[in-house]
Amino acid sequence: MTTTLLQPGQIEAAAGSIPELRLPPADLFLMRARRLEQLAAGHTLGNYLRFVAHLAHAQQKYLDTGLAASLPAPELLAQCREYRMPPLAPAGLARPSGWRDTARHLALAVQDSLPQAGQAALQPVLEGQDAWLEAQAGYLLDGSLHELDAAAAPVIGAALQVHWVHLARQLDSTQVARPEHPSLCPVCGSHPVSSVVRIGGAENGLRYLHCALCSSEWHVVRAKCSNCDNTRGIVYHHLEGGDNGVRAESCPECQTYLKIVLQDKNPQADPVADDLASLALDLLMDETGFVRSGINWYLIQGSV
């Protein structure tokens, strides 16, 4: 089922009143884990959603330990802002020390929640050499998905997320400029997972893209394609009889789609958890010929 979107200007907030950037909250992974547990009940992907919930709980535990990595030097942050560059872009930032140990700890934390085949899939993370883990991280960060160990990727990605969320939380929003490429995260330059329409306060009714790596969010108006800025022919797709709180927004110009999660339908909705739980909508969009413009690191599928 499809629904045509509103036209530009019909749902935008007054100029100057929009919070452009939302940095990740302290309880990010805890809230995500709780939402995944809600979604798992009676879901056909229930076992996998519960596994990811367990992984998110482990991510929160390691985020709460107070990791040692610190931000780049103030002069570099200022230069990035001046030239509208993401200050935490992986290409210009050494991977935080300890991320490989975090990956191994996360794999160990979730191992017992998996069947035997799943436990075997995590052995490369637990036993792999540092060079292998670094290579896998590089494939994930670069979007080289054909070279990635897809079974190990959720844990490797989860470890990277912990460290980049930790870094992003040390920033002040004034240190980050609007991105030169609005389809990419202004904090780290990564692709979004999905977009989310927030409720409450100054953000009420506003759409934000949610970063796959650092979980920062940046504002994009709802009446245009989040991938190419086209404003014509944007269409919503949803599963008939399914959850109308998650829709796929398609663009006829670039032939891509990205999901939009509506918190007014469910205040607990999470842009990562609800995206993962609506895999059937991705299958529908694949049949229509549209290509996904974002990526969910908990389940590697689609293209970026």
* Same domain, yes or no: 141 and 32: yes
Report the pLDDT value the prediction gives residue 3, as an integer from 0 to 100.
52
In 3D space, the residue among 81, 82, 99 whose CA is nearest the CA of residue 90 turns out to be 99
Report how far apart, in Å, the C-alpha atoms of 277 and of each of 128, 152, 243 are: 30, 20, 10
* Same domain, yes or no: 41 and 155: yes
Q: Is residue 174 part of a domain?
A: no
| Segment holding 258, helix H or strand E | strand 256-262
Q: Is residue 51 part of a domain?
A: yes
Name the band, by pLDDT with cuts 50, 70 and 90, for residue 68.
confident
CA–CA dist 242, 261 (Å, integer)? 14
User: CB of 176 within 8 A of CB of 87?
Assistant: yes
pLDDT tens across 117-134, in order? 999 999 999 998 999 999
pLDDT tens across 4-51, in order? 444 333 344 444 578 999 999 999 999 999 999 999 999 999 999 999
CATH number of the domain at 48, please.
3.90.1670.10
Report how far apart, in Å, the C-alpha atoms of 52 and of each of 64, 94, 155, 177, 206 are: 18, 27, 9, 32, 28
Report the pLDDT value the prediction gives residue 179, as an integer from 0 to 100.
80
Report the pLDDT value the prediction gives residue 2, as an integer from 0 to 100.
56
Q: Is residue 81 part of a domain?
A: yes
Q: What are phi and psi of 184, to 5 degrees?
A: -115, 155
Per-residue exposure over 29-56, b if at least 16 CB sit within 10 Å of its own CB, e if not: bbbbbbbbbbbbeeeebeebbbbbbbbb
Name the band, by pLDDT with cuts 50, 70 and 90, for residue 304.
very low
Q: Is residue 20 part of a domain?
A: no
Alpha-carbon Rg for the chain, nearest whole angstrom, is: 19
CB-CB neighbours of 167 under 10 Å: 21
pLDDT tens across 190-213, in order? 999 999 999 999 999 999 999 999
CA–CA dist 145, 140 (Å, integer)? 6
* Same domain, yes or no: 212 and 279: yes
Tell me which of 148, 168, 188 is where a domain ends. Answer: 168
**How many percent of the chain have pLDDT more than 70?**
93
Name the band, by pLDDT with cuts 50, 70 and 90, for residue 240.
confident
Number of domains in the chain: 2
The SS3 assignment for 217 reads strand
**How many percent of the chain have pLDDT more than 90?**
83
CB-CB neighbours of 151 under 10 Å: 16
Range of the domain at 194: 2-9+179-292
Name the band, by pLDDT with cuts 50, 70 and 90, for residue 301.
low
User: CB of 51 within 8 A of CB of 290?
Assistant: no
Tell me which of 109, 141, 168 is where a domain ends. Answer: 168
* Same domain, yes or no: 131 and 154: yes
* Same domain, yes or no: 205 and 89: no
Q: Is residue 266 part of a domain?
A: yes
Contacts of 238 (CB under 8 A, 6+ apart): 1, 3, 244, 246, 247, 248, 281
The SS3 assignment for 256 reads strand
Q: Is residue 300 part of a domain?
A: no
DSSP annotation string for 119-183: HHHTHHHHH--HHHHHHHHHHHHHT-GGGS-TTTHHHHHHHHHHHHHHHHTT--GGG-PPPSSTT
